[in-house]
Amino acid sequence: VARIVTAGTEDSFACDWLQGLCDSVGARLAGSPGYEAAVAYAVRTATEAGFDRVWTEPFDGPCWVRGAEHARVLAPVEFELPILGIGMTVGTPAEGIEAEVLAVTDFAELEQRAAEAEGRIVLFNPPWGGYGESVQYRTKGAVEAARHGAVAVLVRSVTNHSLATLHTGMMSYADDVAQIPAACVTVEDAGRLQRLSKAGATIRVRMLMDHETPPACTQANVIAELRGRERPDEIVLIGGHLDSWDVGTGAHDDGAGCAITLAAAQLLAKLELRPRRTVRVVLFACEELGGHGGQAYASAHADEVSNHVAALESDSGSFAPRGFTVRSSDAVIARLGELAAPLSSIGAEAVSAGWAGVDIHPIVELGVPGIGHRTHHDAYFHYHHSPADTFDKIDPEDLARNVAAVAALTWLIAEDETSLRDLATEVETE
């Protein structure tokens, strides 16, 4: 472990790989030409990195195409209103929408003022209350506003720190409610519009959005494998998601997770450490548009899910390493705590019960011990899903420490005499 940690913190594979992905491939929205370029890049680089086998697994998943977007405040004072359509939103009619704005803080205020929503553009300006709390306005705002007759929604970007950045993300519609356009605005503009409203002004906005939701298109998970030396049929899966939003270049979300896990396995190969079990790196497709790559993997590998000893996902950015959260039995969590103890030299020894990851969730639900790689990610939402999530936000030393942490834990799980999967099953059958 000491050798892996030392070599990992000195290894530049992840940094070089991530720079190539962010700068030369760039944005890679599910189903886009950028995503296809990312698949080609991942297959080529993994093949060159010395994996025993590299392949792709295509499936049909959703896609969405951003078109032109423009908004302007017309009254009580005229100014440009930068907007960023929320993923999967419908567009406006070709002539756009012009309407009065109803500015509310949250869903409770919308309910109180429901009678005022008809024909209006509803602006949600909730204060940051943590991602889980704040993201509801992005995911469900259009449905809640449309129930009361609104014609569009504008949502304060979901971030805890803004320098006028726009943050997109996923939304959904409900079958029984009209589908209305939804876009994010900056924290700064959301605040200004709500202050004008509270001061008694009538606000008028004109907005135009031209988006398309084509039928499902073919996308692919990318898989690279190091065969185990004694128990090749037993699999330790590690990975992240290769798709990103179409703004920024997905450096922290989740180019970093792909770089960390690919580099971790590459490091074992480079050190000629062939583990007892197979290490399989999966770079998942279509996470941002609903976790479809993870579902496709679970379906394609249904007959070998029981051979998966553990699944580890890295999707919380590359900040200083902290440790791992685990979704499995107490026995698995205790064993992982013992295995991770030597990682205290790089601050990555913390193991606790918690969320594992969107992409591995389908197989974790089928009994595979799930492990989420965790970092000190207080700054994560500064960049998340915005044009600012770019390679310059990556600290090469933190990235290398994350590679060291994931490589060492992967080695320990793949080498361990005790199978984590057996520890999970023992508890299930008790």
Indicate the angle between helix axes 420-429 and 330-340, nearest 10 degrees: 160
* Least distance (Å) between residue 288 CB and Zn ion: 7
Residue placing its CB nearer to Zn ion in the complex, 275 or 294? 294
The site for Zn ion (CB under 5 A) is made up of 253-254, 315
* Least distance (Å) between residue 382 CB and Zn ion: 15
| Of 234, 287, 288, 415, catalytic | 287
Q: Does 287 participate in catalysis according to the annotation?
A: yes
Residue placing its CB nearer to Zn ion in the complex, 225 or 253? 253
CA-nearest of 402, 99, 118, 350 to 240 is 402
Ramachandran assignment for 361, one of left (phi > 0), alpha (psi -120 to 50 degrees), beta (any other) = alpha
Residue placing its CB nearer to Zn ion in the complex, 144 or 253? 253
| Distance in angstroms between the alpha carbons of the first and the last residue of the chain | 33
* Least distance (Å) between residue 67 CB and Zn ion: 24
Task: Report yes or no: 145 and 182 within 8 Å, Cβ to Cβ.
Answer: no
Q: Are strands 69-75 and 204-209 parallel, antiparallel or unpaired?
A: antiparallel
* Least distance (Å) between residue 293 CB and Zn ion: 11
**Measured distance CA(405)–CA(93) in Å, rounded:** 51
Residue placing its CB nearer to Zn ion in the complex, 72 or 377? 377
Residue 243 main-chain phi, psi, to 5 deg: -75, 160
* Least distance (Å) between residue 325 CB and Zn ion: 15
Residue placing its CB nearer to Zn ion in the complex, 11 or 315? 315
Our CA angle for 161, 68, 157, nearest 5°, is 15
**Measured distance CA(430)–CA(428) in Å, rounded:** 6
User: Which of the residues are catalytic?
Assistant: 287
